[in-house]
A = this chain, B = another copy of it.
Amino acid sequence: MTRLAMGKALTAGLRSAMARDDRVLIMGEDVGKLGGVFRITDGLQAEFGAQRVIDTPLAESGIMGTAVGLAYRGFRPVVEIQFDGFVYPAFDQIVCQVAKLHYRTGGRVNMPITIRIPWAGGVGAAEHHSESPEAYFVHTAGLRVVAVSNPKDAYTVLQQAIACDDPVVFFEPKRLYHTRFEGPEGDIDLDADIADAAPMGLARVVREGTDVTLVTYGAQVTTALDAATAAEDDGISIEVIDVRSLSPVDYRTVSASVRKTGRVVVTHEAGGEAGVGAELITSITEQCFHHLEAAPVRVTGHDIPYPPAKLEKHHIPDLDRILDAVDRVLDRPNSLSEVAR
């Protein structure tokens, strides 16, 4: 067992995947000598050579489009998008090609491309460096979408994503890159065979509880756990679920929890409107309607362009906003008690 921060766990995952399969390539801006602006590919070009760790010209559509061609040729490209806000120039290639080629060819061509995206806010960055675009990809059939929340998952799920014959959009909460996890989520068995790991796509009950189910993913898992701890003082027992896979969602795990608690809060950093939370709540409502004792509540970023860094703490749902929502589903006094519906 090795204790690694998430950034290093991702590097280790990439290294394992590259060592195991020489069709795995890494491509992106600054991924070579520099090791990426977050150093996730640090050392990999030195180890695997410039043919397998490719510094590309500065053009995201070009990166994604050439990755498609490499996949046609039987390679498994792992594409790094430098920051979440720079994925949009590649959107056409992702939506019209990466997501659809397997379907277009009647299953004859696979697109085993992993799109790694350093993701979301909380690091005081400039505009376009703190985006949460996951809903766009969740809404795009043909893609799988995962988001990791701790080093262990980062190490395992990244390798599973690379090994998967479908394209996977892989979100890495950048504000956790350097966070130390003291629990088992920080311990990585670098010798373990990923074939033995639980399959990609399962949600995880991070903390058990009985009163409210709190569903989330990515860096918000940490905030959700803090909220659960704080709520305990008020005698409220929160079950925290990290869905991990945003598309498809493991509704078996989520629904089992909701049937138990009857109350749901979903939190994410992206704006709420037509976001992943809307999907989660609608599906939960479909599947658990008669178990629900209150309207499920979303706690999300506002529906605004990402605000300037000094104001981001008012955008990313924090402990207090989550607890306020918990009060709401429990029909306890809360900020909206006086606000007309």
Chain A residues within CB distance 8 Å of chain B = 61, 85, 88-89, 91-92, 95-96, 99-100, 103-104, 127-128, 135-136, 138-139, 141-142, 247, 270-271, 273-279, 281-283, 285-287, 289-290, 292, 294-298, 302-305, 341
A292: nearest residue on chain B (CB-CB)? B289
Q: How far, in whole Å, are A139 and B139 apart by their CA atoms in the complex?
A: 10
Known: A273-B247, A274-B275, A274-B278. A96 touches B88 (CB 8 A): yes
Interchain CA distance A128-B284 in the complex, whole Å: 32
Q: Which of B92, B135, B141, B303 contacts A303, CB < 8 Å?
A: B141
Contact present for B141 and A139 (CB under 8 Å): no
Contacts of A271 in B (CB 8 A): 139, 141
**Is B138 within 8 A of A273, CB to CB?**
yes
Stoichiometry, as copies per complex, reads: 2
* Interchain CA distance A92-B90 in the complex, whole Å: 8
Contact between A142 and B305, CB atoms less than 8 A apart? yes
Q: Which of B91, B286, B302 contacts A295 (CB 8 A)?
A: B286
- Chain B residues contacting A279 (CB-CB under 8 Å) are 273-275, 278
- Residues of chain B within 8 A (CB-CB) of A138 are 273-274
Closest 7 CB pairs of A and B: A289-B295, A88-B92, A91-B91, A278-B278, A139-B274, A274-B279, A278-B282
- A94 CB, min distance to chain B CBs, angstroms: 8
Tell me how far the C-beta of A277 lies from the nearest C-beta in chain B, rounded to whole angstroms: 7
CA distance A139 to B290 in the complex (A): 29
Q: State the Cβ distance, A51 to closest chain B Cβ, in Å.
A: 29
Contact B275 A286 (CB under 8 A): no
Complex Cα distance, B298 from A110, in Å, reads 31
- Determine whether the beta carbon of B305 is less than 8 Å from that of A296: no
Residues of chain B with a CB closer than 8 A to A283's CB = 278
State the CA gap A275–B276 with chains docked (Å).
Answer: 9
Instruction: Using CB atoms, name the residue of chain B closest to A106.
Output: B308
Check A96–B85 contact: CB distance below 8 A. yes
Contacting pair B92 A89 (CB below 8 A): yes
CB <8 Å contact, A341 and B89: no
Cβ distance A286 to chain B, nearest Cβ, rounded Å = 5
* Complex Cα gap A103–B306 (Å): 9
- CA gap between A99 and B85 in the complex, in Å: 13
* Distance of A232 Cα from B307 Cα, bound (Å): 50
Besides A141-B304, A282-B282, A285-B296, 6 other A-B contacts (C-beta < 8 A) = A88-B92, A136-B136, A139-B275, A141-B271, A141-B273, A281-B285
Give the residue name and chain of the B residue nearest to A99 (CB). B305
Can you offer 9 A-B residue contacts whose CB atoms are under 8 A?
A135-B274, A138-B274, A141-B273, A141-B305, A247-B273, A275-B279, A278-B281, A281-B281, A285-B296
